[in-house]
Amino acid sequence: MSKTLPLDQQVLHVYVALQNLAHGRAVNDIAEEIGRSRFATARMVRRARELGLVEVRATVADPVDVELSARLAQRFGLQSALVVATYGTDELKVREAIASVTARVIVETIEEDDVVGFTPGRTLVLASRAITQLPSADVVQLTGIGWPRLEDGIEVISNIGRAAGGATYPLYAPLVIEPEARVILKHPAIQHTLTRFDHVTKAFLTIGGWPGASLLADHLIETGELEGFAEQGVIAEYGTSLLDANGRTVPGLGDRFVGISEEQLRRIDLRIAIGGGEGKERAVSAVLRSGMADVIITDVRSAQLALQD
């Protein structure tokens, strides 16, 4: 029965019910905390029990830390947060756990006639492989590729596009190009994708952690540019934005980036940030502070660090 609610709403309902039933907090106090009326909050407690989401403990099907998710969402003013309950440090296991939850969120979020944007990324590649069917929607690649093989870079778009059955707009270009190479952006196929950015209704973006968990940082090491950006405090990349620890945009690559601009990204109705694991903890905090995410899917260690800062 719990499948009648999306995962983020399950998490919120469980949090509210546990605060009331397990911790004895008054409905009025909980309502004030989550920004709902006391009547709506009371209904959430009742519905959580009716749907079998709580007994004495939470029964959310996916491995999500309910209380940590609620705290993170409230601290940063998010629509929702999903903190995947993986406590290890093995990079692949953390990525797989986040990808599993991300796949479910994608399925529950995309609606008929959406225009959905995705950035390339290893976590989204894993998530896209687990999805076989989606409502009919157009799929747009939001940035160029930070990986040597183009076929790896567009796998997310290809997989989601097949599942959704709508039009697909890949971006066959590197994430960063030299100024003299910008002529590539005039190619009709690339222009076809770039013109779709202003129509995107929902966006899924991976978080890059500098310097050890970012393909872009690897590229800038090869070009000898990484040190300059490190001196400016860059610790994260998100779409085509470089961010410092306070979530402020650090200039420098400017027109060399290929992809959606920060201004265009901020206009999208729903922006879901995805990332966690070793090397991305500080980057997750930076993205949360940037105001460019409405939903975050991350791991326990990254969430805890963000709440400590």
Closest CA to 302 of 287, 288, 282, 272: 282
Distance CA 132, CA 289 (A): 34
Q: Does residue 31 register a pLDDT over 80?
A: yes
Q: What is the pTM of this model?
A: 0.84
Asked if 202 and 268 count as a contact pair (C-beta separation under 8 A), the reply is yes
117 bridge partner residues:
140, 203
Distance CA 94, CA 276 (A): 7
- The size of the chain, in residues, is 309
- pLDDT, residue 1, reads 41
Grade residue 239 by pLDDT with cuts at 50, 70 and 90.
Answer: very high
88-98: average pLDDT = 86
For 146-174, the pLDDT digits (tens) are 766 555 678 999 999 999 999 999 998 88
- pLDDT, residue 61, reads 62
107-121: average pLDDT = 96
Percentage of the chain exceeding pLDDT 90: 74
- pLDDT, residue 57, reads 59
Least-confidence region, from 128-132, 182-186, 201-205, 289-293? 182-186
Residue 54 sits at φ, ψ, to 5 deg, of: -135, 145
- The residues, any chain, with a CB within 8 Å of residue 309's CB and separated by 6 or more, are 285
| Residue 162 burial (10 A CB sphere; 0-12, 13-18, 19+) | middle
CA distances from 111 to 114, 191, 201, 226 (A): 6, 26, 10, 40
Q: Does residue 87 register a pLDDT over 70?
A: no
Task: Indicate the residue type of 116.
Answer: V
61 bridge partner residues:
none
**Token pair belonging to 68:** 């940590």
For 36-49, the pLDDT digits (tens) are 999 999 999 999 98
Distance CA 36, CA 38 (A): 7
Task: Indicate the residue type of 47.
Answer: R
The chain-wide mean pLDDT, for the chain, equals: 91
For 248-284, the pLDDT digits (tens) are 999 988 889 999 999 999 999 999 999 999 999 999 9
**Token pair belonging to 113:** 């006639």
- pLDDT, residue 56, reads 59
For 159-216, the pLDDT digits (tens) are 999 999 999 999 988 898 988 888 989 999 999 999 999 999 999 999 999 988 888 8
CB-CB neighbours of 12 under 10 Å: 23
**Token pair belonging to 150:** 């183009």
Distance CA 253, CA 262 (A): 13
Grade residue 59 by pLDDT with cuts at 50, 70 and 90.
Answer: low
Grade residue 60 by pLDDT with cuts at 50, 70 and 90.
Answer: low
Alpha-helical runs (H) found in 134-256? 150-153, 155-164, 188-194, 215-223, 226-231
Closest CA to 111 of 183, 166, 52: 166
- Return the ∠ at Cα 176 (arms to 174 and 178), rounded to 5°: 110
- pLDDT, residue 3, reads 53
- pLDDT, residue 110, reads 97
For 1-16, the pLDDT digits (tens) are 445 799 999 999 999 9
Query: What are the DSSP E strand ranges found in 71-156?
Result: 80-84, 115-118, 138-141
